[in-house]
Amino acid sequence: QHYKSITFIEHFIMAPKRSNSANSKTSASKKLKLSAPGSLDHMKLPSELEGKIDFKPVCTTKEGLPWNLKIVSWNVNGIRAVVKSNKLDYLKFEDADIVCFQETKCFEADFPEAAKFQGYHRFYNSAAKKGYSSTAVLSKVKPVSVTYGIDIPEHDNEGRVITAEYANFYLVNVYVPNSGQKTVRLPYRRKWNVDFLAYCQDLDAKKPVVVAGDLNVAHTEIDLANPKTNTKNSGFTPEERGDFTTLLDGGFIDTFRHFYPDKIGAYSFWTYMSNSRKRNVGWRIDYFLVSTRFMGRIAASEIRELVLGSDHCPIMLLCADLGCEGKDEVTSEVKDEVKDEVNNEVNSEVKDEVNNEVKDDTTKGVAKLEDGSNQDKEEKNGADEERVKLSEDIENVENVEPKVEGVDGNDKDMEVVGNGGIQNTNGVEA
């Protein structure tokens, strides 16, 4: 049984968690989790994806660098619902190095075990409101640091941002606020846009940035099926689109449009109403944005429109990040950490078993000693009675002639010895 508790170490490689301040590193009270995560072994590729997705494409950057880092972003619209539908199984086959979830809709404590994949560090940023918003990051590569929110209190109570710093870039997983029905939240949304741009530019001044997530805006008319009828609706207002242009002008590139500048019918969100997904009446509102100077590291940016389970589909980015050449070392480090945890657990179990066995043996020993003590007392009492009887016999012997019945008084083998009892002449008690 102890061996079984260790076996998961050998199956998956690489296996980082959170604070409430954007500029604070992972706090001691919220260290990375290495608890036994969910196994991927039982997962099966959904039938609708069989033979339709190349999970390991052969492609390189413009400079000819092969990709070595895969990032997936997915607004799951409730992580527990996706787990129940078994649609999360697709991620086993995608085998991403980093997975960014938006709209998980659960507290960290309620995050389903089946979504805590083996071999990943896991980070959560939960909204204060139950069942609302929230984000998570799963990463095989251990980040240098992890922060939560954008360090502005009015924006940081809905669990919308997780920033993971890696050797060569920052990854910002974001779920941008929706402007709401009849755009009632548009003023707040516009303030968010300004503050989020400032946050990203501050990071970009230190090292390149990769923004992944649901940005809740279709930038251009080819990014949604019905642009003319949606100009006054949240996600396609002139204000939101203009702010998105400002974000790009601030030093970032929409990677999908970089590779597919004129592609139409490419969407990542479909409302559940009116059979929209089957009819492909959708919106492209999920993005990978990268710092302009980092675009040379990007090999591909794709939409996984065939993946079901949410009203959004995943998006995928392939990156040639030279800072990830040390993934094998990270793997060994995490294996050792997990192994230490398991060993401690096993040692504790063995210690408890030994202690219990010792306690049982001690209890039995004490009982045996008590029984022996009682038996010794009984034997001692019996011996005392024997001595009294023997003394009486000796007194009787002393009153007769030195001759034993049946033995000739001149017999050399036996003699009567005063108070010493009857002995053989060789001194051995008869």
| 157 token code pair | 């109570």
Q: Which residue has the tokens 């209890």?
A: 363
Inter-CA distances, 338 with 113, 122, 164, Å: 17, 14, 21
DSSP letter assigned to residue 99: E
Tell me if residue 243 is catalytic.
no
Inter-CA distances, 34 with 119, 336, 339, Å: 9, 11, 10
Measured CA to CA, the distance from residue 396 to residue 325 in angstroms comes to 105
Measured CA to CA, the distance from residue 79 to residue 103 in angstroms comes to 8
Pairing of β 315-319 and β 69-75: antiparallel
234: closest CA among 273, 276, 176, 159?
Answer: 176
Tell me if residue 175 is catalytic.
yes
Q: Quote the strand ranges of 23-180, DSSP E.
A: 69-75, 98-102, 121-125, 135-139, 145-148, 161-165, 170-175
Q: In what order do the strands lie in the sheet with 121-125?
A: 121-125, 135-139, 98-102, 69-75, 315-319, 298-303
DSSP conformation letters of 38-74: B-STT----GGGTTT--SS---B-TTSPBP-EEEEEE
| 258 token code pair | 């970089």
Q: Are the C-beta atoms of residues 298 and 260 closer than 8 Å to each other?
A: no
Treating both helix axes as pointing N-terminal to C-terminal, what angle do 238-249 and 186-204 enclose, rounded to 10 degrees? Answer: 10
From the candidates 90, 120, 175, 287, give the one annotated as an active-site residue. 175
Inter-CA distances, 9 with 42, 61, 94, 113, 326, Å: 16, 34, 21, 17, 19
| 330 token code pair | 């990270």
For 291, the enclosing helix (H) or strand (E) is strand 286-291
From the candidates 156, 214, 311, 321, give the one annotated as an active-site residue. 214
Task: Just list the catalytic residues.
Answer: 175, 214
